[in-house]
Amino acid sequence: MIRQAFISNGVAYHHGIVQPGQPLADFEVVDLGRLADVDLNAYDLIVVPRSADGESLRARRYQFARFLDNGGVLIALGELWADWFPGCRWEQECREDVLAPVITSDHPLVAGYTPQDLHWHPALERWCCHGHLVAPPDAEVLVRNSAGDAWLYVDRTTTNGVIVASTNLDPDTHTFHGSAVARSFFDQLVAWAREEAAETPRRRERQPKKLAGLYSGVHFQRAFYADHEFAPEFAVLPVWELSAADLHDYAALWIPRESNQHELVQNRAKLRDYLNDGGTVICFDEVNQPWLPVGSWSLERAAMENVRVAAHPMVAHLSPEQVNWHAHGAYEDYPNAEILVDDGDGHVLLFLDDRSFGGNLLAGTMDPDCHVGFGTEKTRPLLRAILTWVRNLQQAPVGAF
């Protein structure tokens, strides 16, 4: 059985179309203003109606991207101006948008309809028309205007999920206002989307898990997660969405320097439970607040000229020069910590603890992610080594580490 959600921000027809006898009566209604507190990955199908708050949607754009990475089906309707899901670009009305459309496919979504059936805004220009879309490469455009601009497309290639984007065909609005054709079209759309959503588990299985990259809105964090080499490895997880996220959907949780430690303190029990349940946490923050389950960080200056690299498989191939830039403090050694990089004088710069929990904690003070975010090349070898280690953990049999 699929789980399906309707994202509402209280508009009249948002309320109307989920009432008994209406097309979305059996959907769970999720308040857009509280979306950060919801794990969207728990759903298979999500409908976002026209006139949803674009600013709030944009603030949750990474949440929708993770849902789609996880194989979900998204129906997005109306003026999609806020760039809140991957691949979409909306443009304001042009002259052709008030003319009858062109149906370009015999796709099941439009089967049985004529251009006249789908011509819902034949009024004067600049009256009540919802513009058009620039479809992403390889998306299947089903309905367009006579200039070639998309009104309705299906996108299976931009993400691991399925996106249906429709702008000048807004069946939610017209169903609420009594259009029989719009109701028929809406019912057909939802039925098709449910069939697609039944395949969500299969889509989830076909893509390796990404790392959840915790994001506190800091510029170098943003640049790191957008880096040409490392971006494909990460699903960006804004810190405000941490409490609702199921961390087991990801290969690991990456916590960069200058993260919001107030929120991490609020989630310290969640982090400990995740580690105890076999999860992997990678931390490069200056941990001066009590949320990391183990390790004692201090603002001590390490002797970087004496850096040593251990023989551990993760880092043994790296030379001291490849891990030598600077450090933001140091950790103290403790019995369950395996020191990977230190200065030979009691200052631990990178350690692994795979004994205190069912999972793995890797923590350090050299912030290689931060420096890639600033544009440096030097820290890439260490990042590659860590990511290779994470991938090996994912591929190893249970109990191998």
pLDDT tens across 252-290, in order?
999 999 999 999 999 999 999 999 999 999 999 999 999
Superfamily of domain 209-395: Class I glutamine amidotransferase (GATase) domain (3.40.50.880)
* Lookup result for tokens 């860590």: 386
pTM for the predicted model, two decimal places? 0.94
The conformation of residue 328, written as its DSSP 8-state character, comes to S
CA distance 365 to 363: 7
Residue 127 has pLDDT above 90, yes or no: no
- One fold for 4-204 and 209-395: yes
* pLDDT at 390 exceeding the cut of 60: yes
How far apart are the C-alpha atoms of 5 and 39, rounded to whole Å?
11
d(CA 150, CA 166): 8
CATH 3.40.50.720 fits 4-204, yes or no: no
Q: How confident is the model at residue 397 (pLDDT cuts 50, 70, 90)?
A: low
For 116, the token pair is 């006249």
Domain chopping of the chain, boundaries: 4-204, 209-395
Alpha helices in 167-302 (DSSP H): 171-176, 180-197, 200-206, 219-225, 261-266, 268-276
